[in-house]
Amino acid sequence: MRAYHVAAPGARAALQTLPRPEPAAGEILVRIKACGLNFADLLMLDGTYQETPEPPFTLGMEVAGTVEAAGPGVTAPAPGTRVAVFCGHGGLAEYGCFPAARAVALPDAMDAVTAAAFQVAYGTSHVALAHRARLAPGERLLVLGAAGGVGLTAVEIGRAMGAEVIACARGAEKLEVARRAGAHHLIPADPERLRAEVRALGGADVVYDPVGGALFEAAFRACRPEARLLPIGFASGEVPRIKANHLLVKNLTVMGVYWGGYMAFRPEVVRESLAELMRWHGEGRLAPHVSHVLPLDRVEEGLALLRERRSTGKVVIRPD
């Protein structure tokens, strides 16, 4: 099979031909139809992601495909079942072996590309807004990086939860994507404008931030008393420093959100969240946005789209 693989420590990732894997106990073999790219894939290539595996490994965090075989002890999902899997790595290949417990059966109405773009982005935003921030109807939600993979889902989910959504993104095209996803207000990604315009609207109750850097600082200063700030990631490359005395004065709360971490210590949070999101999708309340679908031999082009912030929503790779 073909796979986008890191063969050894210090080696450059490349498309290689590898033996097709066989499922071990507790695993399923999936014929992969689609793999969603994430910013964390770039961090993994750099060796800076918090869960970067030791080489050799294959990149790709979330997949959709069909179960081909089951390892010892696995009774479900059965061969032939269409599934999505948050695998952490191993997805940018034609086949992969993954823990059966992480597989989610797909509804008939959800195609493989949509499913591969769904779990990390929608799961992160839903857990952040519903489980962590307890976003309430009528609250004002500020989303930074609002046209990106997770930011766009935060706009959509925030609107579905009844919030007044402010989208901050770079450029008119990306702001238009956020508007179509449900944003009520659009602000260019300029720190001074962000701070002034959010304050003019009355301030933010919840800040969803996958960007970090100067935009986080501007959003922090535009918060209302008792606001909640959600650091999701640091696409700007700059991890902001938070002044505790400012938290104190305005009674602010900062809540870290690492969606994948829940798989280790509270997996039921992820399961319940994804079940609700699947229902919402079935009801037509969510419309996943995929800006690029590329074949496996163009995976480096897909990663460049993320690195250079030229994509909107998700980028998906189709191994077949």
Residue 298, CB-side half-sphere exposure with 13 Å CA sphere: 12
What CATH architecture is 2-118+288-318? Alpha-Beta Complex (3.90)
Give the pLDDT confidence score for residue 95 in this predicted structure: 98
Q: What is the mean pLDDT of the chain?
A: 95
Give the pLDDT confidence score for residue 306 in this predicted structure: 95
Check the CA dihedral 308-311-314-318 and report its sign: negative
Please give the average per-residue pLDDT across 137-155, as a whole number.
97
Q: Does the pLDDT of residue 193 top 90, yes or no?
A: yes
Q: Does the pLDDT of residue 79 top 90, yes or no?
A: yes
Distance CA 195, CA 180 (A): 23
Check the CA dihedral 177-180-181-184 and report its sign: positive
Distance CA 20, CA 141 (A): 46
Distance CA 30, CA 82 (A): 9
Q: What is the CATH number of domain 121-260?
A: 3.90.180.10
Give the pLDDT confidence score for residue 50 in this predicted structure: 86
Domain ranges for the chain, please list them: 2-118+288-318, 121-260
Give the pLDDT confidence score for residue 247 in this predicted structure: 94
Closest CA to 189 of 156, 150, 144, 227: 144
Q: Does the pLDDT of residue 320 top 90, yes or no?
A: no
Q: Does the pLDDT of residue 93 top 90, yes or no?
A: yes
- Strand spans (E) along 100-251: 103-105, 140-144, 164-169, 185-188, 204-209, 223-231
Give the pLDDT confidence score for residue 136 in this predicted structure: 98
Give the pLDDT confidence score for residue 264 in this predicted structure: 85
Give the pLDDT confidence score for residue 217 in this predicted structure: 96
The CA radius of gyration of the chain, in Å to the nearest whole number, is: 20
Pairing between β-strand 82-86 and β-strand 62-70 as defined by DSSP bridges: antiparallel
Please give the average per-residue pLDDT across 277-282, as a whole number.
93
Distance CA 237, CA 251 (A): 27
Task: Quick: pLDDT tens for 293-302.
Answer: 999 999 999 9
Taking a C-beta distance cutoff of 8 angstroms, is the pair 227, 207 a contact?
yes
Q: Which amino acid is at 154?
A: A
217 Cβ contact partners less than 8 Å away, ≥ 6 residues apart:
191, 240
Q: Retrieve residue 5's tokens.
A: 């693989």
Task: Quick: pLDDT tens for 198-249.
Answer: 999 999 999 999 999 999 999 999 999 999 999 999 999 999 999 899 999 9
Distance CA 214, CA 241 (A): 10
Q: Prior bond to 56 cis, omega within 30?
A: yes
Give the pLDDT confidence score for residue 249 in this predicted structure: 94
Q: Does the pLDDT of residue 9 top 90, yes or no?
A: no
Taking a C-beta distance cutoff of 8 angstroms, is the pair 128, 230 a contact?
yes
Distance CA 91, CA 107 (A): 21
Same fold, 2-118+288-318 and 121-260: yes
Give the rounded percent of residues in the chain with a pLDDT score beyond 70: 100
